[in-house]
Amino acid sequence: MSTVEISQLCERLSIVDEDEMVHEIAEEDIQDGAEDVDKCLVGRVLSGKKVNRDAFKGLIEQIWSPFGQVEVELVGENTFMFYFINKEDRNRVWLRGPWHFGNSLIVLEKPEGSGNISKLGFNRADIWVQIHDIPIMCMNRRTTRWLAEQIGEVVEIPSESRECWGKYIRVKVKIDITKPLKQWLKLKLGKFEEVTMVGLKYERLSEFCFTCGRIGHGNKECLDEEARKLALEGLPMKFRSWLKATISEKSQYRSNSQTFGSSSERVSPTKKTSKKWKKAAREGQQRQITGKIASPLSRMLNVSKAIRKNSKGSNSSNSTIKGSSLGPPGVMIGLSWNVRGLGNPRTFIALSRLLKTHSPELVFLSKTKLNDRKTDKFRNLLGYSGCFCVDSNGNSGGLMLLWKDSLMVTILSFSSGHIDARICHALFSCKNVISIWYGSYFGNLLDKFKSLPTMDNLQGLADQLSLDDLGLVCMIMWAVWENRNSMLNYGKARDSAQILNFASDLLEEYRNSRLACSTRVPSSLAISSPDWIAPPLDF
């Protein structure tokens, strides 16, 4: 290397390291970003395996859609950022936790300050804990809160009633997941010298290491060398499977009944059972239950009651068939009821008895007169894991949809008078789309529709109804005309409930497939025909 080249290299040397300079951003330049921090959540999936990004994103966007629109972005290994339109939507998702992806817990964090994701610990998570073997003198709300504080930070004590406190107390607490789970609490009750031990069981305890007692990995992925050494030596593990909260007997029976018998028996049920179920289904569709609106849910309940009635009246030796149940595996029991104010104690007691008798997996309540703030209270009191609420308008209206753990429910659309939902049963691969309407709301639409003397005035509905309501009215008109033509040409016609379901299903398919929407009514619908005969609208 020549002296000239050496001198040029020396000139390039600098004592000041530019990477050490601090670049200050003006406050007005980061004002928008500060608002974005309050609209975000950051979550980490506690799994030893890499999470499929597309599957996770699709599932979260579906199950969180009732709370508002959310954008999901991968920001690290099994770490995702969730961006909401406003702070209220974010808080609703935060309060409804804990959330799971498959068998893995999602640990959520609220970013603060500048929103530095690398500084988030993901070491605290909400979890439901059952406290078992509780002495009678501890079965009160004050002692319950004290017990919950010994486990972690108290998030929620769901029930003020003593009905569910006989077997165990259920509380939601925020725990430090970097530490082993507590297995029990040792209590010394006041002046009594005896020490009482109450057991702790954790709901949805999925990926859990019985070697070290921590959440987020299995026994094979455990990094605790001392715990692994004891396990390899064959010594009994300190943590056992009883830490997991057991599934109720009713859920176990429902699951086991689908796999009873040999495979050939399950594939080919006898014709006798099939005919019995079809007969029960016809009876259930013809019989309406007083106090419930005519909907797919009430028809499910009618079918279930007819099935139970037939099974009780027959000889057990003849009615028991291995490998099949009375009905296809997709049967789901549902209940629909106009409660006229869920806050009324008598109404709540009557509803509780009805749910205890029929054990429906899906419940639709209309005219609840409740808002979203009281939803969780009644959901927990009624014993349901999922809930969607349409707020009441003052002291009138209000809808609530409740479902069990066995169902995956996605809300497609809703208004003050209806809820559209896609339902998938956890035990089966079947998916159903249902539209549930509150009767008086639909009657108001028909009243407005009846008041129009001719089809020429259909354009005037745009000033009286919302876009969704107007679309339904147009689809019902089309369905009524299609039904009239079918009756005249082929002698076949649907009943009023079938017409409504047919129109709702077509409208939902259209909404899912359209790329853009317009408030302009198609001109073809506004042209009256000289020989038009108004079909009956009393359905």
pLDDT tens-place values along the chain, 539 residues long: 677 777 777 766 655 555 566 667 766 666 667 778 888 999 999 887 888 888 888 888 888 888 888 889 998 888 999 999 888 888 889 888 888 888 788 999 988 887 888 888 888 888 888 888 888 888 888 888 888 899 989 988 876 544 446 678 888 899 888 888 888 888 888 777 788 888 898 888 777 777 788 887 777 777 777 766 766 666 666 777 778 776 544 334 333 333 233 222 333 333 444 444 444 444 444 443 333 333 333 333 443 444 344 444 444 333 333 333 333 344 567 788 888 888 888 888 888 888 888 888 888 888 888 877 777 788 888 888 888 888 888 777 888 998 887 788 888 777 777 787 878 776 555 556 566 666 544 445 544 444 444 444 555 555 555 666 667 777 777 777 666 666 656 666 666 666 777 777 777 666 665 544 444 444 333 333 334 444 444 43
- pLDDT attached to residue 108: 92
Q: Are 218 and 283 in the same domain?
A: no
From CA 251, how far away is CA 256, in angstroms rounded? 9
Q: Are 212 and 71 in the same domain?
A: no
From CA 84, how far away is CA 111, in angstroms rounded? 13
- pLDDT attached to residue 359: 82
Q: Say if 256 falls within a structural domain.
A: no
Q: Say if 321 falls within a structural domain.
A: yes
Query: Where is the domain boundary, 93, 119, 145?
Result: 119
Q: Are 413 and 448 in the same domain?
A: no
- pLDDT attached to residue 231: 64
Q: Say if 497 falls within a structural domain.
A: yes
**Domain range for 48:** 32-119
Cβ–Cβ under 8 Å, residues 443 and 515: no
Cβ–Cβ under 8 Å, residues 200 and 151: yes
The DSSP bridge pattern shows strands 362-366 and 399-403 to be: antiparallel
- pLDDT attached to residue 412: 76
If 0-12 CB within 10 Å is exposed, 13-18 middle and 19+ buried, where does residue 78 land? buried
Q: Are 105 and 158 in the same domain?
A: no
Q: Are 402 and 520 in the same domain?
A: no
Q: Are 104 and 214 in the same domain?
A: no
CA-based nearest residue to 130, from 181, 190, 88: 181
Q: Say if 261 falls within a structural domain.
A: no
Q: Say if 410 falls within a structural domain.
A: yes
Q: How many CB atoms lie within 10 A of CB 135?
A: 13
From CA 379, how far away is CA 278, in angstroms rounded? 34
From CA 208, how far away is CA 222, in angstroms rounded? 10
- pLDDT attached to residue 28: 64
| Residue carrying structure tokens 């010298």 | 193
Tokens of 155: 């998030």
Please name the amino acid found at residue 481.
W
From CA 356, how far away is CA 396, in angstroms rounded? 27
Tokens of 29: 């330049």
Cβ–Cβ under 8 Å, residues 213 and 239: yes
Query: Where is the domain boundary, 70, 101, 119?
Result: 119
Q: Are 63 and 206 in the same domain?
A: no
Q: Say if 27 falls within a structural domain.
A: no
Q: Are 288 and 431 in the same domain?
A: yes
- pLDDT attached to residue 241: 73
Of all helices (H) and strands (E), which one includes residue 379? Answer: helix 375-382
Cβ–Cβ under 8 Å, residues 128 and 171: yes
Q: Are 92 and 165 in the same domain?
A: no
Of all helices (H) and strands (E), which one includes residue 436? Answer: strand 431-437
Q: Are 114 and 142 in the same domain?
A: no
Q: Say if 429 falls within a structural domain.
A: yes
Q: Say if 81 falls within a structural domain.
A: yes
The DSSP bridge pattern shows strands 104-109 and 40-45 to be: antiparallel
- pLDDT attached to residue 349: 84
The CA angle 511-493-457, to the nearest 5 degrees, is 55
Q: Are 184 and 282 in the same domain?
A: no
From CA 171, how far away is CA 168, in angstroms rounded? 10
Query: Where is the domain boundary, 437, 464, 487?
Result: 437
Number of domains comprising the chain: 4
Q: Are 208 and 226 in the same domain?
A: yes
